[in-house]
A = this chain, B = another copy of it.
Amino acid sequence: MVKNTYMRWRLPLICLLWEIAMIILFGVFVRFDPEADAHWKEEWHQKNFTSDIENDFYFRYPSFQDVHVMIFVGFGFLMTFLQRYGFGAVGFNFLLAAFGIQWALLMQGWFHSFENGKILIGVENLINADFCVGSVCIAFGAILGKTSPVQLLILTLFQVTLFAVNEYILISLLHVKDAGGSMTIHTFGAYFGLTVTRILYRPNLEQSKDKQGSVYHSDLFAMIGTLYLWMYWPSFNSAVSNHGDAQHRAAINTYCSLASCVLTTVAFSSLLQKKGKLDMVHIQNATLAGGVAVGTSAEMMLTPYGSLIVGFLCGIVSTAGFVYLMPFLESKLKIQDTCGIHNLHAMPGLIGGIVGAVTAAAATEEVYGKEGLISAFDFTGDYKDWTPTVQGGFQAAGIFVSLAMALAGGAIVGAILKLPFLGDPADENCFEDDVYWEVPEDEESGLYHMHDPTLKPVTS
């Protein structure tokens, strides 16, 4: 079967049309938040600000930049582990994220920052747009190497839309707390991506099996991604929490969970392997599960030891998922999950939702203080009579809503991506940059394809 992967008209057209649409929509709808507007000084006095430092920029900009690095370098380089798909990993991630953040500013803006017919954007909107795109990067992990850039842009358009709807249902209708996005980002993004890859199932993918592995240096590039995700995850989970103690606490809880997760990942990576050697795939991925799993609860009084326990369990679950579950998903359920997002995002995301529900339900005035409890769960206005138990129940509901949205949405979007003219690669060309990229004809790259027996490595 010959596939038409010629991108020359399709890719430019979609990029240009959509960007023009963005310009028009931004022109009609998007303006600066008061704190970024030149009128700010005049509003100052009314807000009783005593200093420029009270601008939200100074509370959130450092965290924003950390999140930004996670999306572009973190996810981008994490996926460069494939030996011949480094350009696609970093480059397509760059493309879809750059488009996605614009569309997310609009979608999330209409739901959350819409005033007098205008969307007012500030630094918190930038963080939320990055978050939204994070869920697309996750889904991209499942279909990595098997789709065209046109398909990825279409995926992004729909997934961002559905993300914003789901987020609106959870945050605004169900009054769910999910600052680090265990449910909205990870559960939703991962099950969405897994459903899409299920729909796009390729029965003959083993034809490109030799390219699905890593080489020595590609594994080191991937570790750049891993480490930036790991290091900056405390910023991710605290970026949009309430000012003050909540941000502070979210960072500490995440730091603890991640540290613990590394130890159990290493333990199980060695344990589940006959030779007892460590597997780079586990180190690159399962070490991050602890960050995913405290996404909902990090800003709550999870406590440092509670965080250690969550990280401990997630390192085990995630590593075991790579060893036992992934082959099963592929052979029985026909889910071909290139990066193993089921292990890094789906299961830890579900755990994170549950931990969040339990932590919320267990909240007491003794632990939070009277004022603290109200502030942590926003028990004001319509919600002033809510109790932690009610909150816990709604948190749990949020998990199911996210799952349902992901499965239904993924099925529809997957079907759309099956349209015949979107330029996906043939089975034997999957995981191969030179379908969509000008690849330098260096001897090194040539060597990867060499099967000349005289070139076999001499065992040392």
Given A252-B32, A262-B94, check contact A276 B7 (CB 8 Å): yes
Chain A 294-336 interface 0/1 with B at a Cβ cutoff of 8 Å (1 = within): 0000000101110011001000000000000000000000000
Complex-state Cα separation, A6 to B271, whole angstroms: 11
Q: Does any Cβ of B come within 8 Å of A382's Cβ?
A: no
Complex-state Cα separation, A90 to B77, whole angstroms: 15
Which residues of B sit under 8 angstroms from A454, Cβ to Cβ? 452, 454
Given A7-B277, A224-B73, check contact A38 B249 (CB 8 Å): yes
Cβ B102 vs Cβ A260 within 8 A: yes
Cβ A266 vs Cβ B11 within 8 A: yes
Cβ B12 vs Cβ A256 within 8 A: no
Cβ A231 vs Cβ B73 within 8 A: yes
Given A8-B270, A231-B68, A245-B36, check contact A309 B73 (CB 8 Å): no
Which residues of B sit under 8 angstroms from A274, Cβ to Cβ? 8
Q: Does any Cβ of B come within 8 Å of A416's Cβ?
A: no
Complex-state Cα separation, A69 to B305, whole angstroms: 24
Stoichiometry (number of copies): 3
Complex-state Cα separation, A98 to B94, whole angstroms: 30
Q: Does any Cβ of B come within 8 Å of A384's Cβ?
A: no
A88 to chain B, nearest CB (A): 9
Q: Which of A186-194, A196-204, A385-393, A440-448 contacts B (4 or more CB under 8 A)?
A: A440-448
Partner of A66, one of B65, B234, B447: B65
In this complex, which of A26, A73, A99, A277 has the most chain B Cβ atoms within 10 angstroms of its Cβ? A277
Given A279-B438, A444-B444, check contact A23 B76 (CB 8 Å): no
Cβ A449 vs Cβ B445 within 8 A: no
Q: Does any Cβ of B come within 8 Å of A244's Cβ?
A: yes
A-B contacts besides A444-B444, A447-B447, 12 pairs, CB < 8 Å = A11-B270, A16-B263, A30-B305, A31-B303, A32-B304, A36-B252, A76-B223, A87-B280, A121-B252, A123-B252, A126-B252, A277-B437
Cβ B263 vs Cβ A213 within 8 A: no
Query: Contact residue range for chain A?
Result: 35 or more
Which residues of B sit under 8 angstroms from A90, Cβ to Cβ? 220, 223, 227
Which residues of B sit under 8 angstroms from A381, Cβ to Cβ? none
Which residues of B sit under 8 angstroms from A228, Cβ to Cβ? 73
Cβ B440 vs Cβ A216 within 8 A: yes
Which residues of B sit under 8 angstroms from A110, Cβ to Cβ? none
Q: Does any Cβ of B come within 8 Å of A165's Cβ?
A: no
Which residues of B sit under 8 angstroms from A33, Cβ to Cβ? 248
Kindly report which residue of chain B lies nearest to residue A37, judged by CB atoms. Answer: B245
Which residues of B sit under 8 angstroms from A262, Cβ to Cβ? 94-95, 98-99
Q: Does any Cβ of B come within 8 Å of A173's Cβ?
A: no
Cβ B220 vs Cβ A98 within 8 A: no
Q: Does any Cβ of B come within 8 Å of A111's Cβ?
A: no
Cβ A258 vs Cβ B98 within 8 A: yes
Q: Does any Cβ of B come within 8 Å of A115's Cβ?
A: no
Cβ A8 vs Cβ B273 within 8 A: yes
Cβ A375 vs Cβ B65 within 8 A: no
Complex-state Cα separation, A217 to B73, whole angstroms: 16
Which residues of B sit under 8 angstroms from A231, Cβ to Cβ? 65, 68-69, 72-73
Which residues of B sit under 8 angstroms from A22, Cβ to Cβ? 260, 308
Partner of A275, one of B8, B87, B243, B276: B8
Cβ A263 vs Cβ B15 within 8 A: yes
Q: Does any Cβ of B come within 8 Å of A205's Cβ?
A: no
Chain A 225-248 interface 0/1 with B at a Cβ cutoff of 8 Å (1 = within): 001101110110000000111111
Cβ A32 vs Cβ B438 within 8 A: no
Which residues of B sit under 8 angstroms from A95, Cβ to Cβ? 262-263, 266
Partner of A15, one of B27, B77, B267: B267
Can you list 18 A-B pairs, Cβ within 8 angstroms, ordered by A? A8-B271, A12-B268, A15-B263, A26-B305, A31-B303, A41-B245, A41-B375, A57-B244, A65-B66, A72-B230, A76-B227, A94-B262, A105-B304, A122-B248, A220-B221, A277-B438, A445-B457, A447-B447
Kindly report which residue of chain B lies nearest to residue A56, judged by CB atoms. Answer: B248
Cβ A458 vs Cβ B451 within 8 A: yes
